[in-house]
Amino acid sequence: MGRINKSTPELTRDAVSAAHELIKPHIHLTPVQTNTTLSILASTPQSAEALRGTQWEGQAPANPKMKLFFKCENFQRIGAFKVRGAFHAVKRLIEEQGLEEVQRTGVVTHSSGNHAQALALAARTFSIPAHIVMPTISTPSKIAGTQSQGAIVHFSGSTSQEREAVVAEVIEKTGATLVPPYDHPNVMIGQGTMALELQAQVEELVRHNPELSVYGGHKGKALNAVITPCGGGGMLSGNAIALRDTGVKVFGAEPSFQGGDDARRGVEAGARIETVKTLTIADGLRTPLGDWTWKIVSDSKYVAGLYSVTEQNIKDAMRLVLERMKCFVEPSAVVGLATILYNEDFRRMVEKEAGEEGWNIGVVFSGGNTTIEAITKIFAAVPGNEAERAEGTVGKDGGRVAENVAG
């Protein structure tokens, strides 16, 4: 199966910096926002009621200190971070093969929506034919967004194996080059450009507004940690590569529903989990790690830890972002925040490692490609439905959210 670039770039911060220079004309410098309410919530112990029925029931709740800085990739072109990796991969492909050759054969990928739209936009920018393989269960708005960029959409089943089978057919017929949604160094490096921006933006914010930092007016590191959603692992890997040896810890967050936390379970078991079939509401995270992303995500020198959250955790975090930050996000985007607010293992780790001072944490909002109709369905779900009963989440975290949001 044809893949982008015969040569493999080094996975280094310098490579990420070079990628950033290459794609700057084609991406937005997305804002970094803060929110006092969410930082206070993150630094407030969960109630006994919120922990009832969870694996942490009966334990003393963690009491970490955190200030949060949100990298809003939902304001990126096509509404998600994926344009970073797509533009970097396409520009490197043009460098290697020449524009005329790439225009003759085209590019192909498989994606549930955000990478699909990103590659379609990058291809259209350079008048390159784009073939996009999308699962039939993809969000209708993401299918429409991909088609609006002029891409040819081919439908498939929802598993990675089913997607890849259709991709192989397209390549055989057209000679198109595969630009993977996450599992390639050029894609990973492109996604990592957000970490460079985030680091610089937080430094600037803290320099002008010291009260935004856990350190206040005292001199301290601007950014202590970054947490990103993890599906195929391209974004998490890219951030980890960009921040390697900077002293900034990188964490990944996943949905636990129906085994969606494959990266966490795989790292724990010491072997990559190759197949994931979950209908989590975090639809952008329904894919397993690839060979390349596994190498980075499973290496503790790059990724300091992986954590998972329930469907109810995701809903509660999404509600807070919509109502308190007035920020339009998709469910996948808030799994990092959900981890910060509701995963006691993560919270206890921060309490222990950050000590009395606490941490400044960068939280990546990966995208905002959803619709009012989809959001309405998520929040209209009847409490106690089968999915929530399977998670064992009903009535656990909602109480804490209601308690802290009131007033």
Active site residues: 82, 112
Q: Which residues, in sequence order, are CB contacts of 161 under 8 Å at separation 6+? A: 275
Which among 259, 251, 254 is positioned nearest to 300, based on CA atoms?
251
The span from the CA of 92 to the CA of 124, in Å, is 16
How would you list the strands of the sheet with 359-365, edge to edge?
32-33, 66-72, 359-365, 225-229, 249-255, 305-309
How far the first Cα of the chain sits from its last, in Å, is 57
* CA–CA distance, 229 with 252 (Å, rounded to integer): 6
Decide: helix, strand or coil at residue 172.
helix
> What are the strands, taking DSSP E only, across 300-358?
305-309
198: Cβ–Cβ under 8 A, 6 or more apart, which residues?
32, 69, 71, 223, 226, 362, 364
Rounded alpha-carbon distances, angstroms, from residue 324 to 39, 159, 319, 320, 338 = 12, 35, 8, 5, 14
Q: Are 80 and 366 in contact (CB under 8 A)?
A: yes
Q: What tokens appear for 394 in the block?
A: 């009903």
Structure tokens at 218: 């005292």
- The length of the chain is 407
Cβ–Cβ < 8 Å for 144, 216: no
> Would you tell me how many other CB atoms lie within 10 Å of the CB of residue 3?
15
